[in-house]
Chain A
Amino acid sequence: DAKTTQPTSMDCAEGRAANLPCNHSTISGNEYVYWYRQIHSQGPQYIIHGLKNNETNEMASLIITEDRKSSTLILPHATLRDTAVYYCIVRVVNYGGSQGNLIFGKGTKLSVKP
């Protein structure tokens, strides 16, 4: 079973920031937080991941609380093409060693509206 809790759906106005929350209260020390999104009928697309520090890349920012029990994915200027299902996943990662698989929940359906 997925170890994360996300809202079923969210709306966001085009051009505004989209803030997608995720709860992972049982996260372990060696589990990373990963975010993927899936646009209708396509394969999941990797967005970003982090362990405990905030992360930013060209697609999004990831804010992880100090206790690591929750996180927020931020799309700074949402466009219509960002309409998708967003999945928050926790995953064990040991670089060069054992790594967990991605266990998907149902995610958050983000609708960006003009």
Chain B
Amino acid sequence: AQSVTQLDSHVSVSEGTPVLLRCNYSSSYSPSLFWYVQHPNKGLQLLLKYTSAATLVKGINGFEAEFKKSETSFHLTKPSAHMSDAAEYFCVVSVGGSQGNLIFGKGTKLSVKP
């Protein structure tokens, strides 16, 4: 069975400093992995996805994530945080291609201090 663990429920950074949101997954098969962002009282927006191509995936708004099979990790990073990055971030795993169900992590709330 597949599962997702987001290692931090809350991360706080200062504006202009790097962001690291950690995600570990468990899957018996080659997974597809996603990061979604949710701003307060809004829907979910796709940041990036990994589907067995390049292990370093670049997304929108300067975010990127690296798939490390040996560590079963898919951490999300950004070199320099912006105030508008404050939101909740979800790591998601899917097995079974476009017919497989999504398993969500519990989320990491990112706060950005001025």
Question: A and B bound?
Answer: no
Interfacial residues, chain A to chain B (CB-CB below 8 A): none
Interfacial residues, chain B to chain A (CB-CB below 8 A): none
